[in-house]
Structure 1
Amino acid sequence: MPGTSINQWKSDFSDGSSESWEQLHTSQVKSSTGITISPELFEKLYLPKKAAPSDFRKRFANPAPLGSMGSVISGMTFAVILMEWGGATTLVGVAGIFYFTGPILLLLATIFEWVMGNFFSMMVMGMFAVFWLSFGVLETPSWGIAASYSKTGNTAEGAASVGYNAAVALYLMVWGFWLFTMWIFTLKTNTVSAVMFLLSFCSCFVLGASYWKVSTGDYPMAMKLQKAGAAIFFAVALLGYYMTVAMIAAEMQIPLKFPVGDLSSLWPKPDIESAETDKAE
C-alpha cells in the first residue's frame, strides 16, 4: 500500500473503517518514506497489549465473607431464641433474619461465587439462602401455613397439630440427610467447615425430633430436644463466626493467623491439577 502513512493506518483501525485485522496481518505496512514494517512491529508500536485479567480474584472482592456473615447473624439469633435466652419465646419478632439478613447476603454471595467459578461455595451459599427463606415462611403467621392445619383457622391450634409438626419434622430430617451429604464433601476443604457441617446435620435431626415429639404430644421431651438442637446450632454459628473473621482478616491482610485446619493436602490431586503443577515446575 504505497503512500499510506502509519498514522493513517492507526486512525483507520481505531475507527473500524479500514480492512479487517486479518487483512492487516496478511499484508505489509509501508510508511510514506517507503519503509516497510511488519504487522507484528506495527502492533507493538501502536497497539500495546493490555493483559485482560483472567483471574477474577484480582478484579472482584471475595464474596464468601459476606454470605457467611449473613448466615452467622441469622443462625446465632435463631439459636439463642430457640434456647429461650432472656425469656425469648418466639421468632416472629426477628422475622427479618429469614428474609433479609441471611437470604439477601447469601443470595448475593451465591451469584458472585458462581461468577468467580467457585462451585462448592456457590452450593453452600445458595443452600443456606433457601433454608432461611423456607423457615421464614414457616415462622411468619401472615403466610397462614400453621392456620391451615386448624379447622377454625387458628394459628396456635394449627401450630400444635399433628399434621403440621410431622411435616416440619420430615422437612428438617430431609435437610439433615442433605447436610450429611455435604459434610462428606467438606472433608476435602478444612477442619472448621467439616465440623460445622457435622454439627449442622446433627442439629437438623435433633430439631426434627423435637417437632416429631410435639406431633405425638410429648411436650416436655420436645422442649428438651428443641434446646439441645438449638445449642448445637449455636456451636455451628460460633464456628461460622470464627471462619468469617478468618476470611476477613486474610482479605484485610491482618498479620494474625486463624488456623482452619486445611484438609485438601490429604487428598490426591486431580489429574488436570497434577498436570498443570508438573508443567509449572
Structure 2
Amino acid sequence: MATSEPDAPSNGIRMVPDEEKGLHKTQTAVTMSPELFEKLYLTPKVPQVGDYNKRFANPTALGFVGFVISTFTFSMSCMGWGGAQGFTPVVGIFFFVGPVLLIFAMVFEWIMGNFFPMMVQGLFAVFWLSFGMLQLPTLQLGAPYATLEDPSGLTSREYNAVVALYLIVWGFALFTFFIFTCKINAVFASIFLLVSVASWVLSGAYWNVSWGNYEAASQLQKVCPLSVCATRRISDAKPSHVGRGALLFIVAALGWYMCFIIMAAEMRISLNLPVGDLSRFWPKTDVELAVAEHREHRD
C-alpha cells in the first residue's frame, strides 16, 4: 500500500513532525564560573575532556557526609559526652560509614576528572580503615610485645613507638594537602591544618606512653581525642574531660559546614554563606579555560 509523505521543502530539508507543529528543539548549557566550581567540587576548574560534570551528580558532599559523621561520633565518644566510653557500639564508623562513603565518592571524583577531591577522599578513607584496626581488641595487635607485666602489649615501648612514627608520617601527608587547599578556600584549608596538628599531637601522646609518661599523654588527650585510644593505661592519670577533643570536634564542625554549603548550592537554595575564597590570591585561569573549551568544541 502506498503511503503519503509530507512534501519536502524546496531547500531539500525535510520537516520533522515537531517542526511542522511549530516546536523546535534547542540544546542549552549552563556555564559555571571558576569560583562556583571550586565551591561545589573543592578543586580549581581546569580544562577537561568530556562532560561528566554535567552528566553525573556531584559526589563531593557524599564523601563529606561519611567523614563528618565518623569524626563527630569519634570525637564526642572520646570526650565522654553523656558518659560514653569505648567504641564497640560504633566500630562501624571506622569501616562502613566513613570509608564506604569516601571510597564511593573517590571513585566518582576520579570518573569526573576531579583530581584533588579524589585524592582527599582516598586519603581519609584509608586513614579511617587503618586507624580502625587499632580499635579492634580481637586482633590482638600488641600480642607480639606482651610481657608478664603487660599481657596485652599495648603499653610496650616498641608498640607505641611504631604507631607514633606512623602518625608522624600522616601529619606530613595531611600538611602537604593543606598547602594545596590554600588555593581553594579558608574552610577547607582549616580542616587540613587542624587534622595535621591533631595527627602530630596524637603521635606525641603515643611517644609519651612509650616512655611511660602517662601524665603528659593525658594532657595531650585533652587537645586531641585520638590520644585517648593510645592505651588504656592513660586513664590511670585521671585526665580532665574539659577541652579534650577540641581539634577533631572543630574539624568535624567545619566539615559539616562545608557539606551544608555544597548541598544547599546543589539544591538551588539561595544561601551565600562565606567560605573564605582563596583563589583570588592566585593567578586567574579564566582565559586559559576559555581557550581550552573553544579548542575542544572546535575539534
What TM bracket, shorter-length normalisation? 0.7 to 0.9
User: Is the 1:170–1:208 Cα contact (8 Å) retained in structure 2?
Assistant: yes
Matched positions, count? 245
Higher relative contact order (CA 8 A, sep 6+): 2
Q: What letter matches 2:277 in structure 1?
A: D
Q: Match of 2:96, SS? A: helix
Distance in 1, matches of 2:291 and 2:127, equals: 42
Distance in 2, matches of 1:238 and 1:279, equals: 38
Kindly state the Cα deviation for residue 147 of structure 1 after the two structures are TM-superposed: 2.6
User: What's 2:65 paired with?
Assistant: 69
Deviations, residues 173-198 of structure 1 (Å, cap 9, x unaligned): 11111111110000000010011111
Distance in 2, matches of 1:74 and 1:115, equals: 25
Q: What letter matches 1:175 in structure 2?
A: W
Structure 1 residue 199 corresponds to structure 2 residue 214: no
Kindly state the Cα deviation for residue 279 of structure 1 after the two structures are TM-superposed: 8.1
Which aligned pairs between 1:1-281 and structure 2 lie closer than 5 A? 54-151=50-147, 157-229=152-224, 230-270=245-285, 274-277=287-290
Q: Match of 1:227, SS? A: coil
Distance in 2, matches of 1:131 and 1:86, equals: 27
The percent identity for this pair of structures is 50
- From the superposition, tell whether residues 117 and 160 of structure 1 become closer, same or farther in structure 2 (CA, over 3 Å): same
Distance in 2, matches of 1:93 and 1:147, equals: 24
User: What's 1:21 paired with?
Assistant: none
Greater Cα shift, 87-96 or 228-237 = 87-96
Q: Match of 1:131, SS? A: helix
Distance in 1, matches of 2:195 and 2:96, equals: 21
User: What's 1:25 paired with?
Assistant: none
Q: What letter matches 2:274 in structure 1?
A: P
Q: What letter matches 1:135 in structure 2?
A: F
Q: What letter matches 2:65 in structure 1?
A: M
User: Is the 1:186–1:194 Cα contact (8 Å) retained in structure 2?
Assistant: yes
- From the superposition, tell whether residues 93 and 147 of structure 1 become closer, same or farther in structure 2 (CA, over 3 Å): farther
Compute the TM-score of the two structures, normalised by the length of structure 1: 0.77
Q: Which runs of 5+ in 2 are unaligned?
A: 18-24, 30-49, 225-244, 295-299
Deviations, residues 160-216 of structure 1 (Å, cap 9, x unaligned): 111111111111111111111110000000010011111110111111111111111
Kindly state the Cα deviation for residue 133 of structure 1 after the two structures are TM-superposed: 0.2
Distance in 2, matches of 1:116 and 1:278, equals: 21
Deviations, residues 80-101 of structure 1 (Å, cap 9, x unaligned): 2222323333223321000001
Compute the TM-score of the two structures, normalised by the length of structure 2: 0.72
User: Is the 1:72–1:237 Cα contact (8 Å) retained in structure 2?
Assistant: yes
Q: Match of 1:139, SS? A: coil
User: Is the 1:188–1:263 Cα contact (8 Å) retained in structure 2?
Assistant: yes
Distance in 2, matches of 1:176 and 1:142, equals: 27
Kindly state the Cα deviation for residue 140 of structure 1 after the two structures are TM-superposed: 0.9
Q: What letter matches 2:105 in structure 1?
A: A
User: Is the 1:82–1:226 Cα contact (8 Å) retained in structure 2?
Assistant: no
Distance in 1, matches of 2:139 and 2:108, equals: 31
Greater Cα shift, 82-91 or 188-197 = 82-91
Q: Which runs of 5+ in 1 are unaligned?
A: 1-6, 8-32
Greater share of helix residues, 1 or 2?
Answer: 1
Distance in 2, matches of 1:246 and 1:89, equals: 32
Distance in 2, matches of 1:237 and 1:95, equals: 18
